[in-house]
Amino acid sequence: MAERPLLVFRQITKSFGAVRALRGVDLEVRAGEVHALLGENGAGKSTLIKVATGAHAPDSGTIHLAGERLERLDPALARRRGIACIYQQPALFPELSVAENLALRLEPTSAWRRVVWSERRRMAATLLSRIGADIDPEREVRTLSMPEQQLVEIASAMGAGARVVIMDEPTASLTRREQERLFGIVTALRREGVAVIYISHRLEEILTLADRVTVLRDGQTVACHARAEVDEAALIRLMVGREVDQLYPASESAPGAVRLELKGLCCRAAGGRPVSLRVRAGEVYGLAGLVGAGRTELARTIFGLTPADAGEVWIDGSRVSIGSPQAAIAQGVAYVPEDRRRHGVVLELPVGQNISLAAWRRIFPLGWLRGDRERSEAEHFVRALSIKTPDTDAAAANLSGGNQQKVALARWLATRPRVLVLDEPTQGVDVGAKSEIHRLVRRFAAEGMAVLLISSDLPEVLGMSDRIGVMRGGELVAELPQGATAMDVMSAALGQTPSEGAA
């Protein structure tokens, strides 16, 4: 690994009005290394990356690339100088082919240039082969999976001669096998002498891949360490500025009467199978299982998005009919979906309108829009959930991921639910925001809600659940008590005999 830094930031500052996003950030990245960039949501990572790619001009500070000071930087110049960013949501043209997308970025532009289609396809095939991507250059991008689109982005970066590749939460939507494939590509880039800046909330990935780690907090660089010098606990302390001894707070209430009961519930049209379970008032019932086990499908059926065609739903001892989300809300059922950016919040709308969306019949009972009442309601939840926002008129898109998730929670809490279904509630948020959300979930249960918690994070399921249901193939195959082990859960999820203690 070369010791001389390839990309150097010195005392970078950036403000947006009264908000100081960067307060003198230092970062050095070497050729041939994977350099992890860590920090809570709002720590300044995204702003620094936008400075690196030329999307934002810093207010002060210096940037050096290969020993040369860059006096100005815009996106086109950053690409020409070899700085590329692979975003969580690839920026490709869905209706064009893979070869056409690559050509738009890599071929010189000219009004009179003749397109040689065979050469264009050959170039695309060569670049894809270089990174081990088995993708037909003639396929339309809209037919590609998310990991395949990321591979096209990486091929584009390599074709442009990238010397610095920034990966922003690249594994957020990938399966385990797809993650392992991406890790292999990162390792190959390192061998070729490319500097990789790797951003992820998943600390286990950082400890596996990174050569060095820089941690940002409140817009400042607080530490830079070699991978061997830190462990997960140390990284958490650096990120949040305090010990996080209790990521999973203890239950604050004893479960009461059965609040939600499913009796053979399923939507066969959506591929579901009958599920029966009970969740008590004041209880957090964790739902575990491997990818494709049917947990999200069950949640959607409970909420009426894919109405049940068999079975029954009982709430507080009464059978109810839930054929739509409106019916679910009327019966006191709330659902916070897995993908907050697509289904959890409307990014373009202000925080206040996001919070009132699901409860507008209660907030505006006569159909008249009342801004004062909506604002009062939103301000109540901003305070109650400690949502960090300048005001309730701020666009949800400007909030950090953890605060967007709190807005999604506030929207459904505004409906005053009796049953709260949470699907991956802490996915893609930093460890500090995750801890805050866990405390909120415990508080909701203490207030008498029945909470159905779906999570692929096994420590989260084990740490937060009063009982754990394990699904496999669309069925509930085991119920485990509080104190069950990871081995118990995985044995049930894989179809093996769980250890003693299963209910």
Q: Please give the full DSSP string across 135-203, using - where no structure is assigned.
A: --TTSBGGGS-HHHHHHHHHHHHHHTT-SEEEEESTTTT--HHHHHHHHHHHHHHHHTT-EEEEE-S-H
Q: Quickly count: other Cβ atoms within 10 Å of residue 487's Cβ.
A: 11
* pLDDT score at 244: 47
* pLDDT score at 495: 77
pLDDT per residue over 376-388, tens digit each?
A: 888 888 888 888 8
Residue 199 pLDDT > 70, yes or no? yes
* pLDDT score at 502: 42
Pick from 5-14, 57-66, 175-184, 229-238: least confident: 175-184
Determine the length of the chain. Answer: 503
* pLDDT score at 498: 46
Provide CATH 3.40.50.300 ranges for the chain.
Answer: 5-240, 246-332+417-503
Going from the C-alpha of 418 to that of each of 46, 212, 319, 323, the distances in angstroms are: 37, 47, 15, 18
Residue 503 pLDDT > 60, yes or no? no
- pLDDT (mean) for 9-15: 95
- pLDDT (mean) for 288-316: 91
Residue 339 pLDDT > 50, yes or no? yes
* Neighbouring C-alpha atoms within 13 Å toward the C-beta of 356: 25
State percent of the chain over pLDDT 70: 90
* pLDDT top residue among 112 and 17: 17
For residue 293, which of 58, 476, 481 has the smallest C-alpha distance? 476
Give phi and psi for 439, each to the nearest 5: -65, -40
Beta strands 310-315; 258-266: pairing state = antiparallel
* pLDDT score at 55: 92
For residue 275, which of 468, 461, 477 has the smallest C-alpha distance? 477
* pLDDT score at 1: 44
Residue 157 pLDDT > 80, yes or no? yes
- Give dist(CA 262, CA 313) in Å, integer: 5
pLDDT per residue over 257-301, tens digit each?
A: 999 999 999 998 877 889 999 999 999 999 998 777 899 999 999
Q: How confident is the model at residue 91 (pLDDT cuts 50, 70, 90)?
A: confident
Alpha helices in 16-80 (DSSP H): 45-52, 75-80
Going from the C-alpha of 58 to that of each of 23, 74, 251, the distances in angstroms are: 11, 11, 46
Q: Is 430 helix (H, G, I), strand (E, B) or coil?
A: coil
- Give dist(CA 72, CA 54) in Å, integer: 8
For residue 422, which of 374, 377, 457, 387 has the smallest C-alpha distance? 457
Domain 246-332+417-503, second-level architecture:
3-Layer(aba) Sandwich (3.40)
* pLDDT score at 355: 85
* pLDDT score at 500: 42
CATH of 5-240, one of 3.10.580.10, 3.30.200.20, 3.40.50.300, 3.20.20.140: 3.40.50.300
- Give dist(CA 49, CA 55) in Å, integer: 8
Q: What is the mean pLDDT of the chain?
A: 86
* pLDDT score at 340: 67
Highest mean pLDDT among 48-62, 361-375, 455-469: 48-62
Helix (H) or strand (E) holding 4: none
For residue 15, which of 60, 46, 45 has the smallest C-alpha distance? 60
